[in-house]
Structure 1
Amino acid sequence: MKHLILKAVMVSVLTFLAAGSLKAQDENVKDSVKRKKFEINYGVGIAIGEKKDSTGKVDQNKGRFIGGVTFTRLDIGLTKLVDNGSLSLSAANNFLDYKPWKTSTVSFDILQMGYRFNSHFKVYLAGGFDWTHIRLDQNITIKKNAPILDYDVITDATFSKNRFSASYVHFPLNFELRTKENNHGKRFRFVFGPEVAFLLDGKVKQISEKYGKVKVNDDYHFTPFRYGGTVRVGYGGLGLFAKYYANDMFDTDAQKGLKNMSFGLTFGLN
């Protein structure tokens, strides 16, 4: 029940913020010819109090608030489990052995709000969604509603796909440093900052000839509150990212010290 309440609260917050940003967009569109207060980069943004130079262009060296609905920082990469500092799983966690090239992460942001100090530095809080997909290597199924993270060995079917996933709503706080634009209108970016996330759901998805496609939802003892940090380096709208979550993946004693990290490509770095 607590997870259903948490999901409802998180989705309501994001919906409320998105609705507020869209309302602000509609109100400002009417005055956009006079005030020119919109930035559009991979979505709809709102810049408040823009300063212009003598030529009528926005002065990038003047500070201003930014924010709105967006679709940026699409992260697609690989996930690695870190068992008490080791990339090899302990005996207690060996049932989570996974296919390394098919264990992945996907995340993106849909809202952001912050302050651009000048053309080289800005700080912003974002909101979006994050998925971790663990492709289990063994022919097992994770038990639903079990008092601990437990599993059954399946002997009457062979899974062609056995995916164990967690979905979170996340709120990263980003500090972005940018170089001056080159002759192609692009620049290098360095982005870093902490992140907190709240569990939406866990899922087991399996495919076999005997049972077909099976999907089961449960929290599966994934930690309800996650925190960590992200680093991105990029050029133009493309970059590389690395994430590390400082607390445990699961809220069970047997999995104490089991964390996860991920790395890969960022699209729409903005």
Structure 2
Amino acid sequence: MRRITFLITIAFTLANTLWSAGQDTTKIKLKKNEILKVTEDNNRTNVILGGNIFELATADENVKIRLGKHGLEIVETPEGTKLDWKKYEEEEYFDEEDDPAEKRKRDRRRFTAHWSGFEIGLNNYLTSDYSMSLSPELSFMDLNTGKSFNVNINFTQLGIGLSRHLGIVTGLGIEFNDYKFEGNNNITKDEDNVIIPYYPDPDIEFKKSKLSTVYLTMPLLLEAQIPVKSRRTVNIAAGAIGGVKIGSHNKMVYYDGGREKIKGNDDFSLSVLRYGPTIRLGYESFQIYATYYMNGLFIDDKGPELYPIQLGMAFTFGD
């Protein structure tokens, strides 16, 4: 508190000195950091302290005092003195004569990424020739796409601003995938750990049959933000996403004199690591995303050659 009082006293003293000397602008810097700036123009005096943290401005009989985004304006009117408490937008109190390098640094700090949040979408996969239609021998892998959900919880992010509206984004998330089988089957492994179909007894019909996976994910994206009205932005991000498997199981539900459930925890010869391109497009905190994994759902030669794809919507917490 003593330091702030001391700086304000210096500001007032220097302002009065400069007024009598008739100078226009004076700056005091410590190394590259500007700690005091005084500007005069006819009946106006403006004092800025500590890199625009504190501002004192006088014009005729009016006074403006600002600390950060909050301020008080004292205005003389015919009815008397009026006190007006203000809250300023960031752009309103940055000095137009700021060092361009400092302005670029400030813009980079203001970049806000759009990764952290909640995502929900649908799973499917493509064959090696980019088709969603499977051959008859792979019919046991046919999915009920409308019930094959992808849920992602992206719990942390890091945005490295290249400018106010362009930056590099990374972070961490957990990806939950359900692959709901269309047929009356599931999957299992043979003695060589190769994926083969699993069929129930002829008199049993599965009411639910799915394969579930959990991956820890990390993206590396380039995000561009296009300003629209009211300082809102349309956001476009593209890049790569990688994941490491942390869990998998299958589950079958059927009725045989009562509800029965079979659940098995296994690796199912699934790829431990996976990676691929992803693209995201949205407005403010709402996004649409699409991801294609370039390595197969299963380890090479241990299962059908299928490449997972995801399409969904995201609600981000970056703003």
TM-score, with length taken from structure 1: 0.71
Partner SS for 2:299? coil
RMSD: 3.1
| Aligned partner letter, 1:226 | R
Q: Secondary structure at the match of 2:144?
A: coil
Residue 171 to residue 80, structure 1, CA distance change in 2 (3 Å): same
Is 1:260 the counterpart of 2:308? The answer is yes
Provide the aligned length of Structure 1 versus Structure 2.
Answer: 220
Distance in 1 between residues matched to 2:306 and 2:279, nearest whole Å? 21
Higher Cα radius of gyration: 2
The TM-score normalised by the length of structure 2 is 0.61
- Aligned: 1:186 with 2:232: yes
Query: Which residue identity is paired with 1:78?
Result: L
Q: When you count strand as a share of all residues, which structure comes out higher? A: 2
Q: 1:81 aligns with which of 122, 125, 149?
A: 125
Deviation at 1:107?
1.2
Structure 2: segments with no counterpart, 5+ residues: 1-52, 55-67, 69-89, 96-101
Please name the residue that 1:55 is paired with: 93
User: In 1, are the aligned partners of 2:111 and 2:163 still within 8 Å (CA)?
Assistant: no
Tell me the equivalent position of 1:223: 271
Counterpart check, 1:177 vs 2:235:
no
Q: Is the 8 A contact 1:167 1:201 kept in 2?
A: yes
User: Aligned pair 1:128/2:166, yes or no?
Assistant: no
Match of 1:212 in 2: 260
Equivalent in 133, 156, 159 of residue 111 of structure 1: 156
Candidates 198, 215, 237, aligned match of 1:168: 215
Distance of 1:213 and 1:251 partners within structure 2 = 28
- The answer to whether the aligner puts 1:200 opposite 2:246 as a matched pair is yes
**Percent pairwise identity:** 23
Paired residue type of 1:215: K
From 200, 222, 245, the counterpart of 1:154: 200
- SS of the residue 2:242 aligns to: strand
**Which residue of 1 is the match for residue 33 of structure 2?**
none
Higher relative contact order (CA 8 A, sep 6+): 1
2 CA distance for matches of 1:66 and 1:168?
A: 28
1:248 equivalent among 296, 306, 310: 296
| Range moving further from structure 2, 245-254 or 231-240 | 245-254
The whole-number CA distance in structure 2 between the counterparts of 1:140 and 1:160 is 10
Distance in 1 (alpha carbons) for counterparts of 2:127 and 2:252: 25
Cα deviation, residue 237, structure 1 = 0.9
